[in-house]
């Protein structure tokens, strides 16, 4: 889910595993086994020091320039590989500092609360503060929101998300990042308002199936009107009927907020120009500040 699809490899995200465990004390959240070096696999090289690795990257860049000059054309795969190496080098020197949330004040850790989602939200703010352009936080593992067997699980999921999400917004404001940051929260679809047929066979009788016809996303940040509700579903909560927003519209709006015209952002792949909103999508101007 963090791959770059048809875009160059240099645009692919870096997956950060959420391995450290939390235990809570009266004063702060303690992680006895936490080691920032373990957050990203192979980020450290036991055989070479940082200056030696820097020389390796510089050599790779010079060799690439020689090849480009000889062939009079850039090799996208080679460029992406070098970019990935540069990214890994920068992460190697800066990541431990960012991922070590033990350095956060006890009050700020308490603001987010315990758990995987809380830790992810706090790390997201720290990464944005360090200049990372895009950060994606997943809610735990095992798809707990995929409520085919029991929709009541959503109560726990929502409760576990409420405090960290609120803390993230408050923290962005306190660090002066609010006006330059867009927060997008949602999923790829909602759930049906009726019981899923056969859910009893899946271990419960209160499950709901996938529903792509009506679900909610929320946006926050300096570019978005706070407290604005746009659109509505039918009386059953099944399908969006009032000012429906397609996923392409959502993407177009996000890109617009980032200063990108979605109709001009194209990438040639497999013989034709692709764009991230395919061949449609309109910016939802009504929600913009």
pLDDT of residue 39: 64
Name the pTM for this structure: 0.79
Give the domain-ending residue among 192, 216, 240. 216
How is residue 185 written in tokens? 């929260």
Which helix (H) or strand (E) segment holds residue 111: the answer is: helix 106-112
Nearest to 278 by CA among 263, 288, 289, 256: 263
Residue in the block written with tokens 């390796």: 56
Domain that holds residue 157: 101-216
End-to-end, the C-alpha distance of the chain in Å comes to 30
Residue 277 DSSP label: T
Per-residue pLDDT of the chain (289 residues; tens, 9 = 90+): 667 888 877 777 777 766 554 444 444 444 545 566 666 666 667 788 878 878 887 888 888 888 878 877 777 777 777 777 777 677 667 777 788 888 888 999 999 998 888 989 999 999 999 988 999 998 877 788 998 888 888 999 999 999 999 999 999 999 999 999 999 999 989 999 998 876 555 566 788 999 999 999 999 999 999 999 999 999 999 999 999 999 999 999 999 999 999 999 888 888 888 888 988 999 999 999 9
Phi/psi of residue 44, nearest 5 degrees: -110, 145
Q: Does residue 154 share a domain with residue 109? A: yes
Within-domain flag for 175? yes
Report the domain count for the chain: 2
d(CA 119, CA 31): 11
Q: Are 260 and 229 in contact (CB under 8 A)?
A: no
Within-domain flag for 9? no
pLDDT of residue 116: 84
- CA angle at residue 77 from 71 to 82, to 5 degrees? 95
CA distances from 68 to 62, 85, 207, 268 (A): 10, 18, 57, 20
Burial class (CB in 10 A: 0-12, 13-18, 19+), 254: buried
How is residue 280 written in tokens? 């449609």
Give the domain-ending residue among 164, 181, 216. 216
Would the CA dihedral through 100, 106, 107, 112 be positive or negative?
positive
d(CA 115, CA 222): 28
Q: Does residue 152 share a domain with residue 60? A: no
């Amino acid at each position: 889910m963090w791959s770059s699809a048809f875009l160059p490899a240099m645009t692919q995200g870096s997956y950060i595993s959420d391995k450290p465990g939390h235990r809570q004390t009266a004063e702060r959240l303690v992680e006895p086994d936490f080691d920032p070096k373990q957050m990203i696999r192979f980020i450290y090289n036991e055989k070479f020091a940082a200056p030696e690795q820097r020389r390796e990257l510089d050599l790779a860049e010079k060799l690439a320039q020689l090849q480009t000059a000889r062939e009079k054309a850039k090799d996208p795969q080679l460029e992406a590989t070098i970019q990935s190496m540069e990214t890994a080098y920068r992460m190697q020197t800066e990541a431990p500092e960012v991922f070590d949330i033990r350095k956060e004040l006890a009050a700020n850790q308490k603001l987010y609360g315990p758990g995987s989602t809380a830790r992810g939200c706090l790390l997201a703010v720290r990464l944005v503060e360090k200049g990372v352009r895009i950060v994606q936080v997943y809610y735990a593992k095992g798809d707990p929101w995929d409520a085919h067997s029991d929709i009541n699980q959503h109560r726990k999921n929502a409760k576990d998300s409420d405090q960290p999400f609120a803390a993230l917004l408050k923290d962005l404001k306190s660090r002066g990042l609010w006006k330059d940051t867009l927060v997008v929260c949602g999923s790829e679809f909602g759930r049906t308002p009726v019981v899923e047929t056969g859910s009893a066979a899946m271990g419960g009788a209160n499950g709901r199936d996938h529903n792509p016809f009506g679900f909610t996303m929320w946006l926050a940040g300096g570019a978005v009107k706070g407290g604005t509700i746009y659109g509505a579903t039918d009386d059953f909560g099944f399908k969006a009927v009032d000012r429906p927003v397609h996923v392409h519209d959502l993407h177009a709006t996000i890109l617009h907020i980032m200063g990108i015209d979605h109709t001009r952002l194209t990438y040639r792949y497999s013989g034709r120009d692709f764009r991230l909103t395919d061949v449609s999508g309109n910016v939802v101007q009504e929600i913009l500040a």
